[in-house]
Structure 1
Amino acid sequence: MPTFSDRIDGLRPSPIRTILSVVDRPGMVSFAGGLPATTMLPDWSGSFAPDLLQYGPSEGEPALRRAVAERLRALGVDAPDDRVIILSGSQQGIDLVAKLLVDPGTVTAVEQPTYLAALQVFRFYGARFTDLADPTASLAYAVPTFANPTGACMSDAARAALADACRDSGTVLFEDDPYRELAYDAVDRAPIVARMHGASWVYQGSFSKTFAPGLRLGFMTASADLFDRLVILKQAVDLHSSRLSQQIVLDAVSDGDWTDRLERLADFYRARRDDFDSLLTRYLGDLADWRRPSGGLFFWLTLRDRIDTRTLLDDAVAAGVAFMPGEEFYADEPELGTMRLNFSHSDSADADRGLAILADLIAERIAARSR
């Protein structure tokens, strides 16, 4: 049985959300929720159904939830249609899980390094960090497929071991999987939670990397003992995610071209990854080490001379180059001399120019330190 946070002791379903879930029933007269008159909503009927401008269900549009559930079940995840929730971005999912499970001092297992924004949320709620091998953890957070920031991908054996460890210890596994469709090589990508029947788990993904980040849509499913509480928490945050965004995404994933789109996306980013890898060799081959990622959006560099890259950032920005200091992705004591570089956004000419500048700055900093 998972240990829930103290803050949900008084958590109750919202009666407003219950009412809104039945407002559209034929013949229903509602004097309850603060719904504006549908007839007075903007007339964009040529583009979409006018009811998309009205309040909607907290869990998300049924058709989109059904489409997500079908894809998750094809991956082996226990995800019936009614146990999928549409999120206002996957960052919201991290916040909801933290609210549900993390109190000050809650032992929370993470990879080292791991997703910076997840660390920020868990810290905000008072998590005490440990590594994934710690059986005393109440919650384990992992990005096993093309991890942010390292781009690493867990092997099948490592996935099985983590599933077994969480099941045996009663640790809730939170699997964050926003990059799984961005695969450029053949690697193990089966969701870990597909192995966790009878245990407590949360799984989430995102449409930001495969479609459009500005729509701010993600999705989440969870074991039955957690799901209803996550829905209630969402009700308290934003009532529901944008219905317009949900319709746009539903139209995209329901289109017969969606699978082809994912293949084209992977082909495009594979070419950018390979070009970036060549440019890294040209400019930083004598300064850093890295592994070419099999998917995702990032290269993880370790400088051979371990300068603190946080002190390099201001100079780099002034010179017209931005990067993420790797030290920021550690829960505890950081490993110095690490950097996360995104390869998906910049074209070849910009990547060439930026890496040349970055290499010069690193070389200058190393030379200055050795004087």
Structure 2
Amino acid sequence: MRSIVISVNQFDVFPFLSASGDPMPFSERVTRLKSSLIREILAAAQRPEMMSFAGGLPAEAMLPKSEWADMPRSIGQYGMSEGEPQLREALAAQARALGIDCDASQVMIVSGSQQTLDLAAKLYIDKGTEILLEAPTYLAALQIFQLFGADCLTVPLLAEGPDLNALRQRLEQHSPSFAYLIPTFQNPSAVRYSETARDAVAALLDEFGVTLIEDEPYRELTFDGGSARPIVSRLKKASWIYTGTVSKTLMPGLRVGYLIATPDLFPHLLKLKQSADLHTNRVGQWQALQWIGSEHYEQHLLELRSFYRTRRDAFEAALQRHFADLAEWNSPQGGLFFWLTLKHKIDTRTLLDSALAQNVAFMPGEPFFADPDANPGYLRLNFSHIDPERLDEGLKRLAAVIRHTQLSQAA
């Protein structure tokens, strides 16, 4: 069996040296560039024998069948930087149905919602810029904000949303350029903010004049039918950027995401996009437009929710069998992840090599925190993608790795 070794230390800053050993003439920003932990793990997870709980991959069985015969030849040509007008209209209508006051002129199509975060970082962040984040938060957002040199202020995430006392304290003591929040089935924790928390967050951001970047990739993946208006729809004064994607509901391969922004921000974001890639995949946009707002899309969402609800239930049953003595968790009411807190804290990054040797991949929880070394003992496990027939064995092996490591460290 080919071994894969992933060291905790290899995710430190790269040594940027030329072939002769001299420093490379790169930008100061690049000195903060770190290797992506999830990229390394997902590369290992491509092995056919690997049982992976690592990435947030949709189930391939639920990727919808795509039809291309009616696509106009003109779609192969360059398009508008803002995106296809019809798709922007459809997304604006969808947002208004959620209570967001907007029109199509505020909608921009991006190459997956990750590009929204890149544009926002370019718009706001210089070295030392203060920003506000949940703890834990989305790993790829944290990476890009830190790459641009942000000083990340964090607020603990509770069962109903952020710690509001801590949030007010942060806002009173600092002047963050923006707050980045994921209020609906948060990645990695799966927390869904309550209505009360959403109102309180909006009121605080308005009071202190802090821009909100609201990220909602999992909104449609609800298993209990519950929903809540986005926080941006509750803001009265603060500027905002709202971002979403079709990657979790249609096909990630389309690379179609979107942002909606207040008029004071949109022109600047558009100029930044034009300097980055000029255009977004028109073929992917055309395919997305065949679904958004249609009856067959609504039917697809119903089937998707039922499918993932079944997978969540099977996953939780297997967790009860193998992890009841090792960890605590809440049953996610939507999204694609379980967030586990180990009862006996260890740095879960130290488990990777042993788990991969057992053909099990998972995401350690520490990198989802701005200060990973101060937050040991968490795991993010994806339940959407693994073959159900391999689920039990995969969790059994992962639990065995944790028990062995805990015993070794206690000895």
1:69-126 alpha-carbon deviations (Å, 9 max, x no partner): 0000000112201110011000100000111111111110000000000000100111
- Residues 110-157 of structure 1, C-alpha deviation per residue, up to 9 Å, x if partnerless? 000000000001001110011251212111000010000011111111
Residue 296 of structure 2 corresponds to residue 273 of structure 1: no
Q: Which residue of 2 aligns with 1:283?
A: 322
* TM-aligned CA deviation for residue 47 of structure 1: 4.6
| SS in structure 2 at match of 1:257 | helix
Residues in 1 aligned to 2:397 and 2:254: alpha-carbon distance in whole angstroms: 34
The Cα RMSD (Å) is 1.2
Judged with a 3 Å threshold, the aligned counterparts in structure 2 of structure 1 residues 75 and 255 are, in CA distance, closer, same or farther, namely closer
Deviation at 1:256, TM superposition (A): 2.2
Contact 2:82 2:270 in 1 (8 A): yes
Please give the alpha-carbon distance, in whole angstroms, between the structure 1 residues aligned to 2:148 and 2:326: 38
Q: Which residue of 2 aligns with 1:314?
A: 353
Letter in 2 for 1:338: Y
**Aligned residue runs from structure 1 range 182-261, under 5 A:** 182-261=221-300
Q: Given the two structures, how large is their TM-score scaled by the length of structure 1?
A: 0.86
Structure 1 CA distance, aligned partners of 2:262 and 2:71?
A: 34
Shift of 1:340: 0.2
Aligned 8 A contact 2:154 2:370 in 1: no
More RCO (CA 8 Å, sep 6+): 2
Are 2:177 and 1:138 aligned?
A: yes
- List per-residue Cα deviations over 1:283-313 (Å, max 9, x = no partner): 0111111110110000000111111100101
Q: Which runs of 5+ in 2 are unaligned?
A: 1-67, 156-166
What are the superposed Cα offsets for residues 189-232 of structure 1, whole Å, 9 maximum, x if unpaired?
Answer: 31000011332010000100000001111011011110111111
Residue 335, structure 1, aligned to residue 335, structure 2: no
Q: 2:328 touches 2:342 (CA, 8 Å); kept in 1?
A: yes
Does 1:108 pair with 2:126?
no
1:122 is matched with which residue?
145
- Does the Cα contact within 8 Å between 2:94 and 2:293 map onto a contact in 1? no
Cα distance in 2 for residues equivalent to 1:86 and 1:96: 12
Mapped to 1, the partners of 2:344 and 2:296 lie a distance apart of 47
Q: Report the Cα offset of residue 188 of structure 1.
A: 4.4
Q: Is the 8 A contact 1:316 1:358 kept in 2?
A: yes
- Give the corresponding residue for 1:350: 390
* Aligned length, in residue pairs: 327
The 8 Å contact of residues 216 and 244 in structure 2, kept in 1 or not, is answered as yes
Residue 148 of structure 1 is matched in structure 2 by: 187
The CA distance in 2 between the partners of 1:197 and 1:267, in whole Å, is 36
Corresponding residue to 1:97 among 91, 115, 120? 120
Deviations 1:151-185 (A, max 9, x none): 11111111111111111111110000000000012
**Larger-gyration structure (1/2):** 1
Aligned position for 1:323: 362
Q: How many angstroms does 1:351 deviate by? A: 1.2
Post-superposition offset of 1:350:
1.6
- Percent sequence identity over aligned pairs: 48
Secondary structure in 2 aligned to 1:225?
coil
**Kept in 2: contact 1:129–1:332 (CA 8 A):** no
Pairing 1:73–2:113 present: no
Between the aligned partners of 2:226 and 2:111, the Cα distance in structure 1 is 29
Matched to 1:130, the amino acid is: L
What whole-Å deviation, never above 9, does each CA across 1:37-81 have from its counterpart, x for those lacking one? xxxxxxxx9552111111100110001001100000000112201
Aligned residue identity for 2:118 = D
* Pair 1:360-2:400 in alignment: yes
Cα distance between partner residues in 1 of 2:236 and 2:271: 23
| TM-score normalised according to structure 2 size | 0.78
SS of the aligned residue for 2:406 comes to: helix
State the match for 2:58 in structure 1.
none
Q: Structure 2: which amino acid aligns with 1:365?
A: T
CA contact (8 A) 2:212 2:241 kept: yes
Contact 1:138–1:170 (Cα < 8 Å) also in 2: no
Cα distance between partner residues in 2 of 1:261 and 1:48: 21
Which aligned runs of 4 or more in structure 1 are off by greater than 3 angstroms?
Answer: none
Q: C-alpha distance in 1, partners of 2:127/2:207?
A: 24
Q: Which amino acid aligns with 1:99?
A: K
Output the CA distance in 1 between the equivalents of 2:260 and 2:99: 13
The whole-number CA distance in structure 2 between the counterparts of 1:124 and 1:307 is 27
Matches of 2:368 and 2:304, distance apart in 1: 27
